[in-house]
Amino acid sequence: MKFTIKFSPIGKRVIESRPRLLLDMAREEGVGLKSLCGGKGKCGKCKVMVNPANEPTAVERKLFTQDEIDEGYRLACCTTIREDTQVYVPPSSITEEQKLQIWGKEVEVKPFPPVRKFFLELTKATLSDTRSDFQRIKEKLNRKYNVKVENADSKVLNIIGPTLRDSDWSITVIVKGSEIIGVEPGNRTKESLGIAIDLGTTKIAFYLVDLLTGESINIYGITNPQIAYGEDVLSRIHYAGNKITNLKKLKSEVLKSINLAIKKICRESKAKYRDILEATLVGNTVMHHIFLGLPVKQLGLAPFTMATNKSLEIKAREVGLEISPGGYFYFPPPIAGFVGSDHLAMLIASEIETKEGNLIAIDIGTNTEIALKTKEKIMSCSCASGPAFEGAHIKHGMRAASGAIERVSINSKSLTVKVSTIKDKSPVGICGSGILDAISEMLRTGIIDSSGKINSGYKGVRKIKRGKSFEFLLAKEGRREITITQQDVSEIQLAKGAIRTGIEILLEETGLKAQDIDGVIVAGAFGTYIDPLKAVRIGMFPEIDIGKFNQVGNAAGIGAKAILVSKKLRGQANQLARRVEYLELATHSNFFEHFTSAVRFPPTK
Amino acid sequence: MKFTIKFSPIGKRVIESRPRLLLDMAREEGVGLKSLCGGKGKCGKCKVMVNPANEPTAVERKLFTQDEIDEGYRLACCTTIREDTQVYVPPSSITEEQKLQIWGKEVEVKPFPPVRKFFLELTKATLSDTRSDFQRIKEKLNRKYNVKVENADSKVLNIIGPTLRDSDWSITVIVKGSEIIGVEPGNRTKESLGIAIDLGTTKIAFYLVDLLTGESINIYGITNPQIAYGEDVLSRIHYAGNKITNLKKLKSEVLKSINLAIKKICRESKAKYRDILEATLVGNTVMHHIFLGLPVKQLGLAPFTMATNKSLEIKAREVGLEISPGGYFYFPPPIAGFVGSDHLAMLIASEIETKEGNLIAIDIGTNTEIALKTKEKIMSCSCASGPAFEGAHIKHGMRAASGAIERVSINSKSLTVKVSTIKDKSPVGICGSGILDAISEMLRTGIIDSSGKINSGYKGVRKIKRGKSFEFLLAKEGRREITITQQDVSEIQLAKGAIRTGIEILLEETGLKAQDIDGVIVAGAFGTYIDPLKAVRIGMFPEIDIGKFNQVGNAAGIGAKAILVSKKLRGQANQLARRVEYLELATHSNFFEHFTSAVRFPPTK
């Protein structure tokens, strides 16, 4: 009997046919799991979460709390796997941080910060001038800077009095709109920090920003800890929709990680997290809803209605975010159930509204959002491209972690294969850009035909027969064989077919042809690593001149940053969110026609 | 050696010269302390807080938590008193609720509630109408009621989706300004509750109000639990200013009591506290600051500057008040360090601005606030009248609890005395209105002269010599003698002198004479119980026609209620707070001249 072990977050799957010690298996398969004591159950470093979990050993009982035991935490060196098992490797147990694509092409944003600081030297209160502390500050702000405030945050009111008296009546006042959101002793007007967060299903990216210049001080990425409760948005909806405590758990897990990450990024930058004056967060609608504790059940059922499509501005402390006590947290609006504020932020970062011509902007992921901008309008849709490009549903697929094959080239005559891996480690599996490369090369060299079938006719050791179908061998490392299977090819066909369908329907709705497109903005981690030429070759994109492609990296994060530093852009983003027309693909009359054509590969030239 | 035992909150003081069991003493002195087991240490009913506290007995250790032991909680039946001691009798140990004056003369207020409810029957979401739940509600509100909302409370967003789907898309939406602050299934537009709170140094009054009619559904009063930490505002400032945890303790104690009281008043009225949509609170500036966690140290030191003189509107949950999750808490502004929002509320309730003529409005307490309204302006001042009218600093003084002498008349020929007590119990002590009566009668019958000296010449058993001075015997009950001492007379002279000084300086500042005054509004518990004729006779008030006095009861509470139900009145109150000119008496050039004259009694006719 065979059983499958799935490692998250790296997305690696292993099929076994005999009971094996988890630590041994992880090492053999190249999963970077820590172990200091060499598997003696002493160091506790190889902590993982397994489901289903064995009865805990005495060592594990001693090492873990009852809550942890109940949640399935075990030591890999004490765990024998005998059946289908999910193994979650927490960040603390992983030898190397996953390759997190958080770089993004910077756009120049003129800072127009919604939070400003003012230095005031006040006259002391006397019996002939008994104005309240607030009144005294209010009048001086008006007189000196022509700034009108109406109220002060209730937590800040508590510290105004002592701060004034401890700093000899010279203070820095932090103002947002007509509210005083903070006071600091002395002159601190030169320091003004903000944080922009891109909350993805898999990764979370942080940008610590100087609000005065709009520049990033530090960039940081972590894995979304919710991965332990489901890899994609649908499994998160399912888990969170089951009961309210689950929703709260997902919310609190991600909040805890975000607070820790903010502290870490601040420590690295010699900043204090309490000095962060404002935060923004973008994400897909499910991430957005879960983070805010909004119900998500309805996002998983037709007609996929959001709780709200408004931007939100709330006190960070109301959400539990640990920044300045009076600071605000701004959430740009989601556009639709499957088109989130990350898509909106991407559109803002790519300045799609102000650019000339007909433009496509695309962010490839488990859900791929595509926008098409013409002279008249902007339409967006979401395609269920699935997780194949993130390495899931692919036999040897994995995320873009070290040891993942990311580039493949095949010699068309000898059919010899050259692969390169992330960090040049010996190959562990194959990640999204590697899969796209492999399929494209296999198509070019005739190993597969345009229906996707692996050609049984070609010769060489690379062809492996398993049961009735063939696999193509990309790399071999000891016992470990990394292959592309017929099933893998089909998965990629479905994925790229979904994306192409979205593009075709948008073109149809706007009356345009592929040659009318003046530019394609490709965003996101996967989108940045792919070779557009190969994406066109497998038909994921229509025939568009390669020079028109522009790979911009994590544009959602860059957009979140732009929205953080500019009040003006917030207004634009809100208008844009209302302007974007959401197109529901599933109910489009020509959906199946487009789809059946899009899953085929274009004929090789 | 003599020592003094002070019982709070009833304000009774007892002088002893030998060690005695606390329970015995309390019974003998008429302090209504519960005891079911008859002092055997079994029932635990005679729980009190003593300072300093004895080593706890084994019984007490078993009965109380360590925290309680540390705070000084003991059983009166296990405690022997040997030195000066403060004894706080918590409400649960008191046999009868203190007489809490919370009645107030109602004023008619046209409700103009800041919170409104709307019933909506919505169309269900479909794949061709995927508007977000918020958007759907927003558009319907606008179309059906012409009400424009911009956002929803973040906690309310969480329940909109499930509420809509559980109630077949028919819901009641609660709107404040442009915010949705609540949703309820079905049509609940006929129920709309609010709570107004008058937070006094000694007592807290609650008014559960129907926001649609403006009428009180229930009225309720409790003792301010902060009394255990000091009887007057200055001792609270001292305690809270000492360290931040003390301030937090005072805040949390009063908040806890308020939340409990609200639940109790709701239970009594068959209402749910979660259905209370809005709250207001008025109080003196120290109570206001402590409740909001604002620093109070500076309120105890010249120049007595407030942290803020603004009205505040914050989410009730931010403060910790347990009402509707999205509900707001409104705090009318304080006027000055010693003139609080309770004074402002009193001015609103007495409609002083719109009434004709020159009017005095006065609220007598430990601090007495006086406003004088003329055609041109409104001036307010605060007089340090001290706690004598609340029974403190008076040898046999006590609060207006049962057994307190509240009325006194003396036969001018026989000098026989008739007293009446609260609830007709045998006399325990004498409360404010009783003291005022007694002094006035003693003055009328020549027992004291206009300098305040007790006449050594008059005859009768009522005169008791103690040391070098005389006391006048009001009542005798077994061993217990209730007298007015020379010291008591002096205390009342200082108290009434302070009030009269305030009135005189206000008259001087406005260029008016007593005969120009068209009305005197007397508010507050003590002010409602006094006989104005007698107050004029001892010179507390100038010679003003008795017909011009209007005793209105707890006008601060009534004002808080009016402010609760009317958005318009909130605007008026804010304008009034800015309009009132605060007059600092202590620095007035003629203060001492007025004061030395005011402490004397007027010559008897």
Return the higher-pLDDT residue of B44 and A191: A191
SS3 labels along B473-502:
EEEEECCEEEEEEHHHHHHHHHHHHHHHHH
Residue B505's SS3 state is helix
Answer whether B127 sits within 8 Å of A310, measured CB to CB.
no
d(CA A79, CA A85): 11
d(CA B374, CA B358): 5
Answer whether B307 sits within 8 Å of A134, measured CB to CB.
yes
Is the Cα torsion angle B483, B486, B488, B492 positive or negative in sign?
positive
Mean predicted confidence (pLDDT) in A154-162: 93
Q: Do the bridges between strand A469-477 and strand A463-466 make them parallel or antiparallel, or are there none, so unpaired?
A: antiparallel
Answer whether A584 sits within 8 Å of B130, measured CB to CB.
yes
Residue A300 predicted with pLDDT over 70:
yes
Q: Does A45 touch chain B (CB under 8 A)?
A: no
Express the helix, strand and coil content of chain B in percent, nearest 5 each: 35, 25, 40
Q: Does B312 touch chain A (CB under 8 A)?
A: yes
Region of residue A579 (left: phi > 0; alpha: psi -120 to 50; beta: else)? alpha
Neighbouring-strand partners of residue B511: none
Residue A167 predicted with pLDDT over 90:
yes
Which uninterrupted H or E stretch holds A445?
none
For A124, which residue in chain B has the nearest alpha carbon?
Answer: B303
Answer whether A129 sits within 8 Å of B303, measured CB to CB.
yes
When pLDDT is cut at 50, 70 and 90, the band that residue B595 belongs to is very high
pLDDT for the residue numbered A34: 77
For A292, which residue in chain B has the nearest alpha carbon?
Answer: B154
Region of residue A349 (left: phi > 0; alpha: psi -120 to 50; beta: else)? alpha
Q: Does B169 touch chain A (CB under 8 A)?
A: no
Average pLDDT of chain B, as a whole number: 90
Q: Does B242 touch chain A (CB under 8 A)?
A: no
Answer whether A127 sits within 8 Å of B312, measured CB to CB.
no
Residues 6+ apart with CB under 8 A from A13: A4, A5, A6, A7, A395, A396, A397
pLDDT for the residue numbered B179: 97
Place of tokens 């206009």: B450
pLDDT for the residue numbered A389: 86
When pLDDT is cut at 50, 70 and 90, the band that residue B605 belongs to is low
Buried b or exposed e, range B311-349, using 16+ CB within 10 angstroms: bbbbbbbebebbbbbbbbbbbbbbbbbbbbbbbbbbbbb
Residue A95 predicted with pLDDT over 70:
no
For B137, which residue in chain A has the nearest alpha carbon?
Answer: A308
Neighbouring-strand partners of residue B278: B194, B328
Return the higher-pLDDT residue of A463 and A174: A174
Place of tokens 């009783």: B434
Q: Does A129 touch chain B (CB under 8 A)?
A: yes
Nearest to B81 by CA among B135, B19, B130, B132: B19
Mean predicted confidence (pLDDT) in A198-226: 90
Say whether pTM exceeds 0.95.
no
Q: Do the bridges between strand A429-430 and strand A404-410 make them parallel or antiparallel, or are there none, so unpaired?
A: parallel
- Residues of chain B positioned with their CB less than 8 A from the CB of A584: 127, 130
Q: Which of residues 318-377 of B touch A (CB under 8 A)?
A: 318-319, 336-337
pLDDT for the residue numbered A460: 66
Place of tokens 């099929």: A15
Q: How many CB pairs under 8 A join A and B?
A: 141
> What would the pLDDT profile of B539-568 be if each residue is shown by its tens digit?
999 999 988 998 888 899 999 999 999 999
> What would the pLDDT profile of B490-512 be if each residue is shown by its tens digit?
999 999 999 999 999 999 999 99
Q: Is A67 exposed, middle or buried (0-12, 13-18, 19+ CB in 10 A)?
A: exposed
For A585, which residue in chain B has the nearest alpha carbon?
Answer: B127
Beta strands in B89-169 (DSSP E): 115-121, 151-152
Q: Does B129 touch chain A (CB under 8 A)?
A: yes
Nearest to B271 by CA among B234, B216, B311: B216
d(CA A393, CA A387): 7
Instruction: Out of A406-420, A534-548, B450-464, give the one with best mean pLDDT.
Output: A534-548
- Distance (Å) from the alpha carbon of B42 to chain A's nearest alpha carbon: 41
Region of residue B530 (left: phi > 0; alpha: psi -120 to 50; beta: else)? beta
pLDDT for the residue numbered A100: 54
Mean predicted confidence (pLDDT) in B410-421: 88
Residue A325 predicted with pLDDT over 80:
yes
> What would the pLDDT profile of A477-514 be if each residue is shown by its tens digit?
887 889 999 999 999 999 999 999 999 999 999 999 99
d(CA A196, CA B111): 45
Buried b or exposed e, range B389-405, using 16+ CB within 10 angstroms: bbbbbbbbbbbbbbbbb
d(CA B47, CA B36): 12
Place of tokens 């960039």: A219
d(CA B362, CA A192): 50
- Residues of chain A positioned with their CB less than 8 A from the CB of B336: 130
Q: Does B134 touch chain A (CB under 8 A)?
A: yes
Buried b or exposed e, range B530-557, using 16+ CB within 10 angstroms: bbbebbbbbbbbbebeeeebebbbbbbb
The interaxial angle of helices A555-565 and A341-349, nearest 10 deg, is 80
The interaxial angle of helices B341-349 and B555-565, nearest 10 deg, is 80
- Note the maximum CA span of chain B: 101
Q: How far is CA B500 from the centre of its chain?
A: 22
Q: Does B128 touch chain A (CB under 8 A)?
A: yes
Q: Tokens representing A471?
A: 């696999």
d(CA A196, CA A208): 7
d(CA B600, CA B602): 7
Least CB–CB distance from B318: residue in A132, A154, A297: A154
Nearest to B43 by CA among B82, B2, B4, B78: B78
For A131, which residue in chain B has the nearest alpha carbon?
Answer: B305
- Residues of chain A positioned with their CB less than 8 A from the CB of B129: 303
For B138, which residue in chain A has the nearest alpha carbon?
Answer: A308
For B331, which residue in chain A has the nearest alpha carbon?
Answer: A154
> What would the pLDDT profile of A141-151 be if each residue is shown by its tens digit?
999 999 999 99
* Cβ count within 10 A of residue B70: 11
Q: Does A303 touch chain B (CB under 8 A)?
A: yes
Given the cut 0.85, state whether the ipTM is greater than it. Answer: no
d(CA B116, CA B278): 11
Least CB–CB distance from A308: residue in B130, B157, B302: B157
Choosing among A157, A285, A381, which should be mutated to test the B contact, i.e. which has the most B CBs within 10 A? A157
Choosing among B126, B128, B130, which should be mutated to test the A contact, i.e. which has the most A CBs within 10 A? B130
Mean predicted confidence (pLDDT) in B358-374: 93
Q: Tokens representing A12?
A: 């690696």
Q: DSSP string of A316-370?
A: HHHHT--S-TT-EEEEPPP-BTTB-HHHHHHHHHTTTTTS-S-EEEEE-SSSEEE
Q: Tokens representing B270?
A: 């068959």
Q: Tokens representing B189?
A: 């537009």
Q: Does A125 touch chain B (CB under 8 A)?
A: yes
Answer whether B304 sits within 8 Å of A130, measured CB to CB.
yes
Mean predicted confidence (pLDDT) in B160-173: 96
Least CB–CB distance from A309: residue in B135, B160, B319: B135
pLDDT for the residue numbered B528: 80
Residue B390 predicted with pLDDT over 60:
yes
- Note the maximum CA span of chain A: 100
d(CA B31, CA B25): 8
For A587, which residue in chain B has the nearest alpha carbon?
Answer: B127
> Which value, to the nearest 10 degrees, does the dihedral of the CA atoms of residues B517, B523, B527, B533 take?
30
d(CA A155, CA A160): 9
- Distance (Å) from the alpha carbon of A306 to chain B's nearest alpha carbon: 5
pLDDT for the residue numbered A99: 46
Mean predicted confidence (pLDDT) in A217-225: 86
pLDDT for the residue numbered B103: 67
- Distance (Å) from the alpha carbon of A580 to chain B's nearest alpha carbon: 13
d(CA A343, CA A198): 11
* Lowest-confidence region among A108-112, A193-197, A259-263, B307-311: A108-112
pLDDT for the residue numbered A312: 95
> Which value, to the nearest 10 degrees, does the dihedral of the CA atoms of residues B231, B237, B239, B241 take?
180
Place of tokens 């004929």: A603
Q: DSSP string of B57-70?
A: PHHHHHHS-HHHHH
Question: By the 8 A CB rule, do A222 and A261 touch?
Answer: yes
Q: Does A157 touch chain B (CB under 8 A)?
A: yes
Residue A154's alpha-carbon distances to A294, B181, B209, B293, in angstroms, are 26, 20, 26, 9
Answer whether A295 sits within 8 Å of B582, measured CB to CB.
no
When pLDDT is cut at 50, 70 and 90, the band that residue B455 belongs to is confident
Return the higher-pLDDT residue of A236 and B94: A236
When pLDDT is cut at 50, 70 and 90, the band that residue A275 belongs to is very high
Answer whether B305 sits within 8 Å of A150, measured CB to CB.
no
Q: Which of residues 562-601 of A touch B (CB under 8 A)?
A: 582, 584, 586-587
Q: Tokens representing B591?
A: 């203060």
- Residues of chain A positioned with their CB less than 8 A from the CB of B128: 303, 587
Q: Does A15 touch chain B (CB under 8 A)?
A: no
Answer whether B308 sits within 8 Å of A133, measured CB to CB.
yes
Residue A296's alpha-carbon distances to A284, A299, A413, A428, A549, in angstroms, are 12, 5, 53, 36, 35
Q: Does A90 touch chain B (CB under 8 A)?
A: no
Mean predicted confidence (pLDDT) in B341-361: 95
- Distance (Å) from the alpha carbon of A81 to chain B's nearest alpha carbon: 40
Q: Does A293 touch chain B (CB under 8 A)?
A: yes
Give B41's Cβ-side CA count (13 Å radius): 13
When pLDDT is cut at 50, 70 and 90, the band that residue A527 belongs to is confident
Quote the DSSP letter at residue A566.
B
Quote the DSSP letter at residue A431.
-
Least CB–CB distance from B294: residue in A157, A292, A584: A157
What is the percent of chain A where pLDDT is above 70?
A: 97
pLDDT for the residue numbered A228: 80
d(CA B47, CA B35): 9
When pLDDT is cut at 50, 70 and 90, the band that residue B480 belongs to is confident
pLDDT for the residue numbered B316: 97
d(CA B446, CA B457): 10
Residue B247 predicted with pLDDT over 80:
yes
Q: Tokens representing A484?
A: 């592309």
d(CA A4, CA B253): 58
Express the helix, strand and coil content of chain A in percent, nearest 5 each: 35, 25, 40
Residue B389's SS3 state is helix
Return the higher-pLDDT residue of A455 and B324: B324
Answer whether A298 sits within 8 Å of B337, measured CB to CB.
no
When pLDDT is cut at 50, 70 and 90, the band that residue B99 belongs to is very low
Q: Which of residues 389-408 of B touch A (CB under 8 A)?
A: none
Average pLDDT of chain A, as a whole number: 90
Give A143's Cβ-side CA count (13 Å radius): 9
Answer whether B337 sits within 8 Å of A130, measured CB to CB.
yes
Cis peptide bond prior to A9, omega within 30° of 0: yes
For A293, which residue in chain B has the nearest alpha carbon?
Answer: B158
When pLDDT is cut at 50, 70 and 90, the band that residue B460 belongs to is low
Q: Does A152 touch chain B (CB under 8 A)?
A: yes
Quote the DSSP letter at residue B49.
E
